[in-house]
Amino acid sequence: MKFFVDTADVAAIRELNELGMVDGVTTNPSLILKSGRDIVEVTKEICGIVSGPVSAEVVATDAKTMISEGLTLAKIAPNIAIKVPLTWDGLTACKAFASEGHMVNVTLCFSAAQAILAAKAGASFISPFIGRLDDNNYDGVQLIEDIRTIYDNYGFKTEILAASIRSVNHITDCARIGADVITAPPAVIKAMANHVLTDKGLEQFLKDWAKTGQKIG
């Protein structure tokens, strides 16, 4: 499974990248706002840190302007994945970008039917928002499983990029089902290292070691 980091925080990306925990980055208008930086400037810096795909999102809602914005974003760096919403205009833009060899991340997916359309339009990635589905009393992880089954049935090459990840359980569930990629905030990825029994075991080891009166080195 590939790990994308869902942030525009350059320091957080650098930290995780140095540990080999970053295969790509996803950004969106909300994350750019949170960073407080110019979209081109911060996206270019991120693309220089990671070698994998960096999703940069268009903000237009009509296909013609989406295409214009997307081509502008694609000029930032070779590893840009143009991010478009899963609307009919977004699919039109996706097809245009894919036809020219650009990576495309189709976002805001909430159904298997939408995922089929994205794959047929040539999307490199489909981003189902599992956390938002859970928030609205739907089963987000089940959607990942449904898309996995459908894509495998027909040999679609589009990668399933599980998004709106809220917990460590989301990540492990997506891994079990076979999502190709997850994108999560840095804090959620780092939380994967935490377990109460690890903490308790370490505490006991340190207590016992102190009783030996020894030092290493």
CA dihedral defined by 33, 34, 37, 39, rounded to 10 degrees?
A: -50
Instruction: Report the chain's terminal Cα–Cα distance, integer Å.
Output: 38
Sequence-ordered list of residues with C-beta below 8 angstroms from that of 210, at least 6 positions apart, any chain:
none
In whole angstroms, give the CA distance from residue 96 to residue 98: 6
- Please report the pLDDT score of residue 36 as a whole number: 94
Task: Give pLDDT, residue 7.
Answer: 97
If you average pLDDT over residues 7-33, what whole number do you get?
96
Q: Is 215 a catalytic residue?
A: no
Q: Give me the pLDDT at residue 148, please.
A: 98
DSSP category for residue 180 = S
Residues 6+ apart with CB under 8 A from 177: 141, 144, 145, 148
Q: How many CA atoms lie within 13 A of 176 on its CB side?
A: 8
State the average pLDDT over residues 135-157. Answer: 98
User: Both tokens of residue 183?
Assistant: 């994108």
Listed by start position, the domains of the chain span 2-212
- Global confidence as pTM: 0.95
Q: Which of 2, 34, 64, 83 is catalytic?
A: 83
Contact 119, 126 (CB under 8 A): yes
Segment 154-201, tens digit of pLDDT: 999 999 999 999 999 999 999 999 999 999 999 999 999 999 999 999
Give the pLDDT confidence of 203-215 residue by residue, as tens digits: 999 999 999 999 9
Q: What is the mean pLDDT of the chain?
A: 97
CATH number for the 2-212 domain, one of 3.90.1300.10, 1.25.40.390, 3.30.930.10, 3.20.20.70? 3.20.20.70
How do 159-162 and 2-6 pair as beta strands? unpaired
pLDDT of residue 1: 97
The model's confidence at residue 75, banded by pLDDT at 50, 70 and 90, is very high
Q: Which helix (H) or strand (E) holds 142?
A: helix 140-154
Q: What is the pLDDT of residue 66?
A: 98
HSE at residue 51, side-chain half, CA atoms within 13 A, is 3
110, containing H or E segment: none
Query: Looking at residue 179, what is its pLDDT?
Result: 98
